[in-house]
Amino acid sequence: MNRWVEPGGRFRAWPLYALCFLAAAAQGMLLPVLALLLERQGLSAAANGLHATFLYAGILVAAPLSERLVRRWGYRPVLAAGGGLMAGTLFFYPLWASPALWMALRFLSGVGAEILHYAAHLWLTIRAPADKRGRIVSLYGMAYGLGFGVGPLALPLLSLGEWVPFGVAAVLLVAALAAVWTNPPERPPSVTERRAERSLSLYARTWRLAYLALLPPALFGWMEATLTSLFPVYGARVGLAEAWISFSLSAFTVSSLVLQLPLAMAGDRWGRARLLPLLIAAGAFLFFLMPVAGRGVPLLVTMAVAGALVGSIYTLGLAYAADLLPKSLLPTANALGSIGFSVASIAGPNLGGLAMSHLHPSALFWVIGVPFAGYVALAWWSHGGRRARRMSDPRLSFALKGVREHDSSHSCP
């Protein structure tokens, strides 16, 4: 799983995993470090939260651009651009203690992170053999989760100087980029269609063929951002101790990593089309159950089980897209997945906050559970009809056949 020998040279997966881990650690470090530094400057909690959304805004802006960059320049230059942008912004944070400047730097950090993760994830997905795709992509997800979890541990480095956590993260990112450069220069398979049809129609065709695979990344962003942002508010309003709030969120995050690889292997064996609706249905049930669980150990266990079951739907969704689509459409699919994730990450906390303010604190879980239940209903309704519609459209079938024949020359042996 670590390497595949190709006509273009020896491809190594570990530098991409290492780069993902370090980039995620830099992101995970930025959130608490900047929050603490802004708090020291007297910024309110609301303004602090709004400040953090500029990272997601950068991800949203960069998502459609990443596809064009990778198609034109290939993986390595785009990885260098994204990692270089992240490392560069990290050096500037400690130079000027300005919230306005940090807001701009957060935006640029989001752009760099999205470009980097897009290119690395796509490279692994296209390179991976079909029978191992799920586990290979899940290892990338695990590297991201571990890095994001390790990032906050850099907080004590502030005692050595404000520049220390930023400088350490930047230097490690540059070292990981150097390791990635040992892989052969490659780019994704091209799309054999007229340039005038490449923009909107390409997105529409990809969505039509793989919407069931592209919705889980959006659901994951909706769940992650809403739960992380508002669960402390829910806990405070229902009388949870701060320690239990912290334990519950940590249980959700840590347990999401435990089943990443087993669920990916189950998807490789039994099919992601079957597995994803089952996991999301279980997640919907558990989110609706959380207000009933009350507090303490029952809530902690419910959060842990929910995290274990739905913590991998992002990577499973993109792996499912690779099952449904020819390789030449995977860059577009990854871009759509990133756009959905970003939009949902911004919209979820806002809608959840409104629901909690005007309805009840438990509305937090309703806001998360209802879209999950909606996906299950959509999957049940469209599972048979989507395949029938694809087969009944001779033009689409002919086009896909031609694209897949074109892709076969780029596939792994």
Least confident range of 170-179, 185-194, 328-337, 389-398: 389-398
Mean pLDDT to the nearest integer, 363-391 = 78
For 198-413, CATH gives 1.20.1250.20
Distance CA 336, CA 242 (A): 37
- 125 Cβ contact partners less than 8 Å away, ≥ 6 residues apart: 133, 136, 137, 318, 319, 322, 330, 334
What digits encode the pLDDT tens for the residues 274-311?
Answer: 889 999 999 999 999 888 877 778 888 888 899 889 98
For residues 179 and 14, what is the distance between their CA atoms, to the nearest angstrom? 9
**Alpha-carbon distance 379 to 388, whole Å?**
14
Report pLDDT digits (tens) over 88-129.
Answer: 998 888 888 788 888 899 899 989 998 998 888 888 888 877
**Is residue 162 within 8 Å of 379, Cβ to Cβ?**
no
Question: Are 353 and 77 contacting, i.e. CB atoms less than 8 angstroms apart?
Answer: no
What's the rounded Cα separation, in Å, for the pair 120 and 180? 10
Position 224: which residue type? E
- Nearest-CA neighbor of 322 among 170, 91, 123, 163? 123
Residue 252 per-residue DSSP state: H
B/e letters for 193-224, b = 16+ CB within 10 Å, e = fewer, are eeeeeeeeebbebbeebbbbbbbbbbbbbbbb
pLDDT tens, residue by residue, 50-96: 676 788 788 888 877 887 888 888 888 999 999 999 999 988 888 88
pTM listed for this prediction: 0.70
pLDDT in tens, 179-236: 888 888 887 776 544 443 455 677 788 888 888 989 999 999 888 877 876 777 777 7
Asked whether the beta carbons of 239 and 295 are under 8 A apart, the reply is yes
Residue 189 is classified by DSSP as P
Record the tokens describing residue 61, joined without a space: 């802006």
Determine contact, residues 130/79, Cβ cutoff 8 Å.
Answer: no
Q: pLDDT value at position 279? A: 93
**CATH 1.20.1250.20, the chain: domain bounds:** 1-188, 198-413
Residue-wise pLDDT tens digits, 229-274? 677 777 777 777 766 776 777 778 778 888 888 888 888 888 888 8
Element (H, E) at 405: helix 394-408
Token pair of 277, please? 């609706």
For the cut 70, the answer to whether the pLDDT of residue 24 exceeds it is yes
- Encoding tokens for residue 268? 């490789």
CA dihedral 337, 341, 344, 348 (to 10 degrees): 150
Domain 1-188 CATH (choose: 3.20.20.140, 1.20.1250.20, 2.130.10.10, 3.90.600.10): 1.20.1250.20
Over its C-alpha atoms, the chain yields an Rg (Å, rounded) of 21
CB-based contact 398:317 (threshold 8 Å)? no
Distance between CA 175 and CA 391 in Å, rounded? 48
The enclosing H or E element of 11 equals strand 9-12
Where are the extended beta strands (E) located within 36-144?
A: none
